[in-house]
Amino acid sequence: MNLDELNRVANAMVTPGKGILAADESTGTIKRRFDAIGVENTEDNRRDYRELLFRSTEAMRDCISGVILYDETIWQKARDGTPLVKLIEQTGAIPGIKVDEGTKPLPGCPNEVVTIGLDKLTERLPKYLEQGARFAKWRAVIDIGPGIPTHTAIHANAHALARYAALCQAAGIVPIVEPEVLMDGDNDIDRCYEVTQWMLKETFHELYYNRVALEGMVLKPNMAIAGKKSPKRAGVDEVAEKTVRLLKACVPAAVPGIAFLSGGQSDEEATAHLDAMNRIGNLPWKLTFSYGRALQAAPQKAWSGRPENVAAAQRAFTHRARMNGLATRGQWRADLERKAA
């Protein structure tokens, strides 16, 4: 393991002013996104859509540090025959790859899941490295509900994350460690705080036991936030303050950076929360974004599968990327959204 190189890539992924584009939707997930805009879920349409993002030169060059790809996408070529990985590299962004294979029910734990995909990972990673991937991603999913999460689910998922991270580093690939506590329930922000703290502490224990070098990884957590069905919403400042407090209690300073997932927040909400956290300042790690839907909902709607809409879609993507880039420096303002509109 070349820790200097892993650390260099991890630091580049969390460069201030930039963040990570999560373009790693599975074929099933992107079908739901395409259904919403009336686009057929074909391989060509998936390629065309992602190509328009990667060819948004201004956004990619100025605001995107890396792109998480799905297995199909990392092997695809653009319409003119250029590998999509090359399009990303030409903008200065770093290609990455989602390596988990989704979730399966966790035996003995009703309504809980564990992420799978470790068994062939040792053989898959060198192929991804050769294809240009310099980092990888593995997502663990923890739900909040009556009687859950259980310690069994927290431990099983934290252990799998740590095993994945160790295999990545051994292969010369930076792991993004993503323990996601879902915001789908009716829990308040304090319950989210408690469960996220539990999951993060367990994850860092497992990373230690599996000898993962913290200097060569990036953490991708959820924010401390109330569930979507909660009658009690937390304001922007409360989300920022509690999330920063939570991270300070759980995340060692050796980790180069934290790239938040948006987890179903609205575009502007995800930007405002990140901005408020960076305004708190004096943090041991860099705070940035690794957004999927919060960067892509606007360009998808603008594109709607029509070639004549590509430029409009690229403008929408560039705007969202720029807003989140400002948020990584604590320089975003709500009036900038309205100006663009």
Q: Which residues are catalytic?
A: 178, 220
CB atoms near residue 104 (< 10 Å): 10
Residue 231, classified by CB atoms within 10 Å of its CB into exposed (0-12), middle (13-18) or buried (19+), is exposed
Six-digit token string for 213: 């070098």
CA count, 13 A, side-chain hemisphere, 4: 0
> In this structure, what DSSP letter does residue 292 have?
S
C-alpha to C-alpha distance for 119 and 114, rounded to whole angstroms: 14
Q: Which amino acid is at 241?
A: E
Q: How far apart are CA 327 and CA 265, in angstroms?
A: 15
Distance CA 341, CA 338 (A): 5
List strand residue ranges (DSSP E) for 89-223, in order. 94-98, 103-105, 113-115, 135-142, 174-181, 218-219
Could you tell me the sign of the dihedral formed by the alpha carbons of 2, 129, 178, 293, in that order? positive
Q: What is the CA radius of gyration of the chain?
A: 19
Q: Tell me, rounded to whole angstroms, the distance of Cα 135 from its chain centroid.
A: 12
Query: Can you name the residues that pair with 257 across neighbouring β-strands?
Result: 286
